[in-house]
Amino acid sequence: MTLADTQPQALNFECETGNYHTFCPISCVAWLYQKIEDSFFLVIGTKTCGYFLQNAMGVMIFAEPRYAMAELEEGDISAQLNDYEELKRLCEQIKRDRNPSVIVWIGTCTTEIIKMDLEGLAPKLEAEIGIPIVVARANGLDYAFTQGEDTVLAAMAQRCPSQAPVAETEKEERNAISKLLNFGRKKEDMVEQESEYVDHPPLVLFGSLPDPVVTNLTLELKKQGIKVSGWLPAKRFTELPVLEEGSYVCGVNPFLSRTATTLMRRRKCKLIGAPFPIGPDGTRAWIEKICSVFGIEPKGLAEREAQIWTGLEDYVNLIRGKSVFFMGDNLLEISLARFLIRCGMTVPEIGIPYMDKRYQGAELALLEKTCQEMGVPLPTIVEKPDNYNQIQRINQLQPDLVITGMAHANPLEARGINTKWSVEFTFAQIHGFTNARDVLELVTRPLRRNHALKDLGWDTLVKEEARLS
């Protein structure tokens, strides 16, 4: 631990054993099937995968979800059954019952081990049943939790059209109808709307966010005259954005490095490497970076950021000077730590499953800069952490807050350590200026709750000496 050091010169990266708790990446189907409304996710795996999904998603499972397991049986493992025929049978059933616009196959550990050639089978079956099949290998052998979305979006990036469909006559006709329908609206209005934007190359943002957040971030960029040509993913598979060679792309989440790589290498797009729009500082830096790439002078951002901070003051007061320890499980850790340091917290350790120093380069630089400006020690970034060792360190450091998975949260609380369940950051709306308050609402909740209970005298609720293992 480098906590004792006064001011390390640079971020300190470490790597442990990888014995840590996180969600399996197949969990991405939970939010992606809701985001992509005309999709169907088929997870090809075993009972273990199914049991995880069923339990991790709680009540969602009962809402006729557009996902299912293709549960492998002994015959599938020993190749007594024909993979292609089996998948065809199931996909035809899905087509019959749900008629989706795309079926996403999620490959799992088992399909990896038995080397089921999903990428090879998909195009054949796609041609036969007439529904696009996208293959994503979101398995626990290679990835952690949110990286599942990364594998799906990287596969989807290949399906984005490379030029806008042009159908002039149809366009005319539709215009005629829309003219009739919108006769009240003047044509000048529409032209004016277009001219609100600066002339810049097309920009596509990638990362799955709830629709309200998409609208919000799109609007923030619009204020700077930047037009968002599309999002990967869009609300529907049939509305995937156009990716031309030379289009600019920018990520909104820190765990999308494969998608970024695919967009650059396979689709010849230009990646804008920016910090992520989490927290008002991150949002401002994100917008500024995009502006700078397009040669735009950002307007009113400093005031906007200051105004948001003023609104956060009551929450910031609660956490200023306190310490937070990230055990690491969803790859949002660097951005969240950077935001919390700006709020006045100290961060002894940032655990993270996987650290892409290139994709997160701008975010890491902002973290370093933030630490210097706030005069706090640089945190140690621990890749592939070891939960057992981390708990020893938590025991030693006694941080004011530990951001961790549910496996450790209750046991830590019983030992008098405040915890926040990390998965909530994945599902809550945390992006943009508007949602900065929601992040702090989550972070301060355990502190506010425990403040309310502080005089009751039952902080430690385990019998033996607080054994932390």
Partner 1 sequence: MKLAYWMYAGPAHIGTLRIASSFKNVHAIMHAPLGDDYFNVMRSMLERERDFTPVTASIVDRNVLARGSQEKVVDNITRKDQEERPDLIVLTPTCTSSILQEDLQNFVDRAQLEAKGDVLLADVNHYRVNELQAADRTLQQIVQFYTEKARKKGELPDGKTATPSVNIIGVTTLGFHNQHDCMELKKLMRDLGITVNAVIPEGASVHDLKHLSQAWFNLIPYREIGLSTAKYLHEQFGTPFVDITPIGVVETARCIRMIQKLLNEQGATVDYEPFIDEQTRFVSQAAWFSRSIDCQNLTGKKAVVFGDNTHAAAITKILTREMGIHVVLSGTYCKYDAEWFREQVSEYCDDVLISDDHGAIADAIARLEPAAIFGTQMERHVGKRLNIPCGVIAAPIHIQNFPIGYRPFVGYEGTNQVVDLIYNSFTLGMEDHLLEIFGGHDTKEVITKGVSAESDLNWTKEAQAELNKVPGFVRGKVKRNTEKFARDRGLTEISLEVMYAAKEAVGA
Q: Looking at beta carbons only, is 381 or 409 nearer to partner 1?
A: 409
Taking CB under 8 A as the criterion, the residue among 12, 14, 37, 56 binding partner 1 is 56
Quickly list H helices, 224-278: 257-265
Residue 52 CB, shortest distance to partner 1, in Å, is: 5
Q: Per the structure block, which two tokens stand in for 133?
A: 């099949």
Which of 162, 307, 372, 398 touches partner 1 (CB under 8 A)?
Answer: 307
Provide, rounded to whole angstroms, the least separation between the CB of residue 401 and partner 1.
18
Q: How far is the CB of 437 from partner 1 (least distance, A)?
A: 7
CA-CA distances (angstroms) from residue 287 to 124, 252, 298, 385? Answer: 43, 11, 8, 32
Q: Residue 263's closest CA among 134, 163, 160, 135?
A: 160
CB of 240 to partner 1, least distance (A): 21
Q: How far apart are CB 433 and partner 1 at their closest, in Å?
A: 7
Task: Check whether 291 is labelled as a binding-site residue.
Answer: no
Q: Where would I find the H helices in 145-276?
A: 147-157, 168-181, 187-195, 211-223, 257-265
CB half-sphere exposure, 324, CA atoms < 13 A: 30
User: What are the beta bridge partners of residue 140?
Assistant: none
311 interacts with partner 1 by CB under 8 A = yes
Residue 122 sits in the site that holds partner 1 (CB under 8 A) = no
Residue type at position 188: E
Helix 333-342 to helix 279-293 angle, to the nearest 10 degrees? Answer: 110
| Interacting residues with partner 1 between 381 and 420 (CB under 8 A) | 388, 391, 405-411, 414
Handedness of CA 317, 321, 325, 326 (dihedral sign): positive
The answer to whether 39 contacts partner 1 (rule: CB under 8 A) is no
Written as six digits, the tokens of 444 are: 């301060």
- With CB under 8 A as the contact rule, the residue among 32, 94, 228, 331 that binds partner 1 is 94
Shortest Cβ distance from residue 413 to partner 1 (Å)? 8
Stretch that binds partner 1, among 165-173, 213-221, 229-237, 362-370 (CB under 8 A): 213-221
297 contacts partner 1 (rule: CB under 8 A): no
List Cα–Cα distances, 226 to 194, 219, 220, 290, in angstroms: 11, 9, 9, 9
The DSSP 8-state label assigned to residue 67 in this structure reads: E
Asked if residue 109 belongs to a known ligand binding site, the reply is: yes
Rounded to 5 degrees, φ, ψ at 322 are -90, 165
User: Rule CB under 8 A: which of 219-238 touch partner 1?
Assistant: 219
Looking only at Cα atoms, what is the longest distance across the chain?
79
Nearer to partner 1, 98 or 270 (CB): 98
Q: Is residue 318 at the binding interface for partner 1, with CB under 8 A as the rule?
A: no
Residue 291 beta carbon to partner 1: minimum distance, rounded to whole angstroms: 20
Cβ proximity to partner 1: between 134 and 217 the closer is: 217
Using CB under 8 A as the binding rule, whether residue 110 contacts partner 1 is answered as yes
Residues 59-78 that bind partner 1 (CB under 8 A): 61-62, 65, 68-74, 76-77
Choose which of 90, 129, 318, 376 interacts with partner 1 (CB under 8 A).
90
Instruction: Output 139 or 151, the one with its CB closest to partner 1.
Output: 139
Nearer to partner 1 by Cβ, of 49 and 272: the residue is 49
Tokens at residue 260, please?
Answer: 């970024």
Binding to partner 1 (CB under 8 A): which residues in 142-181? 142-145
| Helical axes 28-35 vs 147-157, angle rounded to 10° | 40
Q: Is 343 marked within a binding site?
A: no
Q: Which two tokens stand for residue 176?
A: 């005629």
In the block, residue with structure tokens 């979800």:
65
Counting residues that bind partner 1 (by CB under 8 A) gives 75
Contact 17, 7 (CB under 8 A): no
Tell me if 207 contacts partner 1 by CB under 8 A: no
93 binds partner 1 (CB under 8 A): yes
| Min CB(421)–partner 1 separation in Å | 10
**Binding to partner 1, residues 4-33 (CB under 8 A):** 18-25
- Report, in Å, the least distance between residue 118 CB and partner 1: 13
- Would you list the DSSP string of 96-120? HHH--SEEEEEE-HHHHHTT--HHH
* Binding status of residue 119 toward partner 1 by CB under 8 A: no
Query: Residue 270 — left, alpha, or beta (φ > 0 → left; ψ -120 to 50 → alpha)?
Result: beta
Conformational region of residue 280, where left means phi above 0, alpha means psi within -120 to 50, and beta covers everything else? alpha
Residue 244 and residue 186: Cα distance in Å, rounded?
32
- By CB under 8 A, tell whether 58 contacts partner 1: yes
- Provide the minimum distance between the beta carbon of 260 and partner 1 in the complex, in angstroms, as a whole number: 21
Point out the annotated binding site for [4Fe-4S] cluster.
Answer: 24, 49, 109
Point out the annotated binding site.
Answer: 24, 49, 109
